[in-house]
Amino acid sequence: MDSALAVPRPPPHDPGTPALSVVDMHTGGEPLRIVLAGCPEVVGPTLLAKRRYMRQHLDHVRRRLIFEPRGHRDMYGAVLVQSELPDAHLGVLFLHNEGYSSMCGHAVLALGRFALDFGLVPVPLAGSREARVNIHCPCGLVAAFVACEDGRSRGPVRFHSVPAFVLATDLMVDVPGHGKVVVDIAYGGAFYAFVSAEKLGLDICSAKTRDVVDAASAVTEAVKAQFKINHPDSEDLAFLYGTILTDGKDAYTKEPTTNICVFADEQVDRSPTGSGVTARIALQYHKGLLELNQTRAFKSSATASVFTGKAVREAKCGDFKAVIVEVSGQAHYTGTASLTVEDDDPLKDGFLLK
C-alpha cells in the first residue's frame, strides 16, 4: 500500500499575513530559518532603516517565525531584503527571540550556501571551486566564500568580517552572586562580553546549560548597567548582544578553545558563534596572543561543533585599531516548511515559556 497521502489544501489563515514559506538550515547545530516568501515588504532607504521599520511595524512576523508553536526559544531567523549597496548580492535582517541583531556569523555561513543554490548570485564559472556572495548585514558588507562544484554548494563556507575591534579589556564589573568579575568587551559585528567560565565557578565543558545561562545573563545585565557601549559608526550598533563564556585558553594552541554564547533573551547558541569568534580573534590579536593569518579552532561546549578563525589583515573602525577576520564552518539544509496562521488561533503571534 502506498504510504503517500494526498496533500490537503492549507487551512484558512489570517488574510493579512500570507503563509510564510521558509527554508531551515543549521550551522554547527545553530538553526537558521530563512524566509522565502510571505513577509510583507520591509520599507526603508537603508538596511538599518529597514531594521527599524521591521521592529516597529512587522514584529508579528518575527514572533510567528521564532516563537512557539512554530519555532522555539532558541530559533533564529533571516529575512532577505534589498540592499542599498551596489556591491551587495542581498541584504538580510537577523531575527531572534528578543528582536533584531546587527550580525550573525552562523547565519552568514548558511546564507552563503542558500544564495548560491537559490540563484541569488551569478552562476560560478565552469571549474570554479568557490563562489563569492556579498551579504549586506546591518553591521556592514560581509563577503562569504562558498565551496562549490558544478555551480552547487558543497557545505564548507568562510566569510570575511567587518572590521572587528576591542572596546575594553580588564573591565571590572560587579556581578550579583559572583562579586567583582573582570571581563573584556569586543566587537565582531556585534558586541560581546568575554569572561572565563572558571571566574564564575563553572567548568565550561561540563556545566549544566541552566547554570551557564544564569551566569552569562548576570554578566550581560551587569555590563549593561555599569558600562556604556559605543560604536564609532552608528548608535544602531551600540548595544551589548550577549556574553561568551570561555575555557580561558586565550594563548595560541593548535587545540580548539571552547566557548558558549548566551545572547538576546537568554538564547543559547549551539554553534561556536561566528560573530563571537570574530570578536574573540580581534581580542586575542589585540592582546598579542595571535598573529595575522594564524588559524585557531573554536569549539562549542553545547554541540562540540567547530569553527576556525584567523585575522587576515589590519583595518580601522573609527579611531579603533581593528582586524578583518575570516571565519570558516559547515552549513547544512534541514528542511522546508509553510507556516500558516489560522484566523481564530489565540496564539497566532507565538509565545515563549519563561
Task: Give the model confidence (pLDDT) of 56-110 as tens digits.
Answer: 999 999 999 999 999 999 999 999 999 999 999 999 999 999 999 999 999 999 9
Q: Is pLDDT at 3 greater than 70 in this prediction?
A: no
Q: How far apart are CA 81 and CA 62, in angstroms?
A: 14
Q: Is pLDDT at 15 greater than 80 in this prediction?
A: no
81 and 230 part of one domain: no
197 and 298 part of one domain: yes
Q: Is pLDDT at 343 greater than 90 in this prediction?
A: no
> Is 104 a residue of the active site?
yes
Bigger pLDDT: 163 vs 5: 163
Long-range pairs, 119-125, Cβ under 8 A, ≥24: 120/80, 120/89, 120/90, 121/89, 123/151, 124/148, 124/151
Looking at every residue in the chain, the average pLDDT score rounds to: 94
> What mean pLDDT is predicted for residues 145-153?
93
The string of DSSP letters for 59-72 reads HHHHHHHHSBTTS-
224 and 309 part of one domain: yes
Per-residue model confidence (pLDDT) at position 13? 59
Q: What percent of the chain is predicted at pLDDT more than 90?
A: 88
Per-residue model confidence (pLDDT) at position 1? 41
226 and 90 part of one domain: no
**pTM, rounded to two decimals:** 0.95
Q: Is pLDDT at 231 greater than 60 in this prediction?
A: yes
Per-residue model confidence (pLDDT) at position 169? 98
269 and 302 part of one domain: yes
Structurally, the chain folds into a number of domains equal to 2
Could you tell me if residue 146 is inside a domain? yes
157 and 168 part of one domain: no
Per-residue model confidence (pLDDT) at position 7? 52
CATH of the domain at 192: 3.10.310.10
Residues 98-148 have pLDDT tens digits of 999 999 999 999 999 999 999 999 988 888 999 999 999 999 999 999 999
Per-residue model confidence (pLDDT) at position 19? 85
The string of DSSP letters for 162-182 reads SPEEEEEEEEEEEETTTEEEE
Could you tell me if residue 212 is inside a domain? yes
Per-residue model confidence (pLDDT) at position 4? 53
DSSP-based helix, strand, coil % in the chain, nearest 5: 20, 40, 40
Could you tell me if residue 345 is inside a domain? no
Q: Is pLDDT at 10 greater than 90 in this prediction?
A: no
Rounded to a whole number of angstroms, the CA Rg of the chain reads: 20
Residues 43-70 have pLDDT tens digits of 999 999 999 999 999 999 999 999 999 9
Can you give the residue range of the structural domain that contains 191?
162-327
Could you tell me if residue 347 is inside a domain? no
Per-residue model confidence (pLDDT) at position 295? 98
Per-residue model confidence (pLDDT) at position 342? 81
205 and 322 part of one domain: yes
177 and 315 part of one domain: yes
31 and 168 part of one domain: no
27 and 42 part of one domain: yes
List the end-to-end C-alpha distance of the chain, in Å, as a whole number. 45
Residues 242-296 have pLDDT tens digits of 999 999 999 999 999 999 999 999 999 999 999 999 999 999 999 999 999 999 9
229 and 139 part of one domain: no
Could you tell me if residue 351 is inside a domain? no
Q: How far apart are CA 32 and CA 77, in angstroms?
A: 5
Q: Say if residues 160 and 311 touch (Cβ distance below 8 Å).
A: no
29 and 156 part of one domain: yes
| Selected catalytic residue, list 39, 104, 148, 317 | 104
Least confident interval from 8-22, 200-214, 224-238, 299-313: 8-22
